[in-house]
């Protein structure tokens, strides 16, 4: 049995695992009448816990549950319990901010950090994971599938980044701020705030990544002078179909998660990991010692 070797490999390394779009339902219910999202999340968590370098923190970038119901959040809480490292949750378009706060009362960073004109209190927070800062944005438009970023939310981002000049930052948000070329997903993409967000990021080159969910696929795009990326789902994936008129469908192709690994020398290096158990590892060397790869 191998032992974790984070300290030996990179004394200052920070490993942030990103899981996204868990879509948990109450026991006995399948998402879209097809997907046991709880079972799939359990498999992804097992894969995270089997990593040779245990992550320093885990962030789940929205669509935590399917209908924003207390019973769903209670089940999510039970399913996430094996993750004993710091855990950071964010809302997506399937979530309900207040039900999320109620289900995780010890997550004090979920408390309102700003108020919108209509009284809504987005979930936006900044936390430290060692030398790395995780800054989250709330793109939720309650009752809607698309996302929005109003000036109040972006004012908060600007002020938060102003306090972290020169320090490594990962910005996390549910709806990606870029066109994905998957037509039906772009129709429910981020509808406001994109030019201003790009401008803010361009003035803060210490933002290493913008990490997103919503797409149930891994996509990487240049944005605002940094790299913006989405994460595969831990269960179902949005069908890979770049036809602008593509039907809104999902597949059960292999699920996964992201590992955002930071070291002082490299900045953030993002890996894409498949969930599940696979054969290996096998050595690249034959018994005779000859190289085969």
CB 20 to Fe ion: min, Å: 7
Q: 3-state SS string over 121-172?
A: CCCCCEEEECCEEEEECCCECCCCCCECCCHHHHHHHHHHHHCCCCCCEEEE
Q: Is 95 in the site for Fe ion (CB under 5 A)?
A: no
Residue nearer to Fe ion on the CB measure, 13 or 140 = 140
CB 250 to Fe ion: min, Å: 10
CB 63 to Fe ion: min, Å: 3
Residue nearer to Fe ion on the CB measure, 63 or 72 = 63
Interface segment toward Fe ion; rule CB under 5 A; list 57-65, 98-106, 146-154, 197-205: 57-65
- Length of the chain as a residue count: 293
Q: What is d(CA 293, CA 167) in angstroms, rounded to the nearest whole number? A: 39
CB 155 to Fe ion: min, Å: 27
Q: Could you tell me how many residues of this chain bind Fe ion (CB under 5 A)?
A: 2
For residue 194, give the nearest of 155, 160, 148, 232 by alpha carbon: 148
Q: What is d(CA 290, CA 20) in angstroms, rounded to the nearest whole number? A: 42
DSSP state of 47: H
CB 215 to Fe ion: min, Å: 8
For residue 145, give the nearest of 186, 201, 114 by alpha carbon: 186
Interface pattern 120-159 for Fe ion (x via CB under 5 A): ----------------------------------------
Out of 56, 63, 66, 208, the residue judged to bind Fe ion by CB under 5 A: 63
Q: How many CB atoms lie within 10 A of CB 288?
A: 6
Q: List the Cα angle 95/100/105 in 5-degree steps.
A: 170
Out of 13, 14, 21, 48, the residue judged to bind Fe ion by CB under 5 A: 21
Residue nearer to Fe ion on the CB measure, 30 or 165 = 30
CB 34 to Fe ion: min, Å: 14
Residue nearer to Fe ion on the CB measure, 21 or 96 = 21
DSSP per-residue string spanning 201-226: HHT-TTEEEEEE-SSSS--EEEETTE
Positions that interact with Fe ion (CB under 5 A): 21, 63
């Amino acid at each position: 049995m191998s032992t974790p070797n984070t300290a030996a490999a990179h004394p200052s390394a920070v490993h942030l695992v990103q899981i996204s779009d868990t879509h948990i339902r109450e026991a006995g219910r399948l998402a879209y009448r097809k997907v046991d999202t709880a079972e799939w999340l359990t498999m992804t968590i097992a894969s995270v816990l089997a990593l040779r370098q245990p992550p320093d923190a885990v962030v789940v970038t929205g669509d935590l549950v399917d209908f924003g119901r207390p019973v769903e959040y209670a089940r999510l809480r039970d399913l996430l319990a094996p993750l004993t490292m710091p855990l950071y949750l964010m809302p997506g378009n399937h979530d309900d901010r207040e039900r999320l706060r109620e289900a995780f009362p010890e997550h004090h960073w979920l408390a309102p950090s700003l108020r919108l004109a209509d009284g809504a209190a987005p979930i936006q927070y900044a936390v430290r994971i060692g030398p790395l800062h995780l800054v989250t944005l709330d793109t939720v438009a309650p009752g809607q599938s698309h996302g929005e970023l109003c000036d109040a939310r972006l004012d908060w981002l600007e002020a938060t980044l102003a306090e972290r000049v020169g320090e490594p930052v990962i910005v996390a948000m549910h709806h990606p701020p870029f066109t994905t070329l998957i037509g039906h997903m772009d129709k429910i993409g981020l509808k406001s705030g994109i030019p201003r967000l790009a401008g803010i990021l361009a003035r803060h080159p210490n933002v290493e990544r913008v990490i997103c969910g919503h797409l149930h696929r891994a996509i990487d795009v240049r944005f605002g002078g940094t790299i913006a990326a989405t994460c595969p789902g831990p269960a179902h994936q949005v069908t890979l179909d770049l036809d602008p008129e593509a039907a809104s469908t999902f597949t059960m192709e292999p699920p996964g998660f992201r590992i955002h690994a930071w070291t002082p020398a490299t900045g953030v290096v993002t890996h894409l990991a498949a969930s599940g158990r696979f054969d290996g590892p096998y050595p690249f060397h034959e018994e005779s010692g000859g190289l085969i790869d």
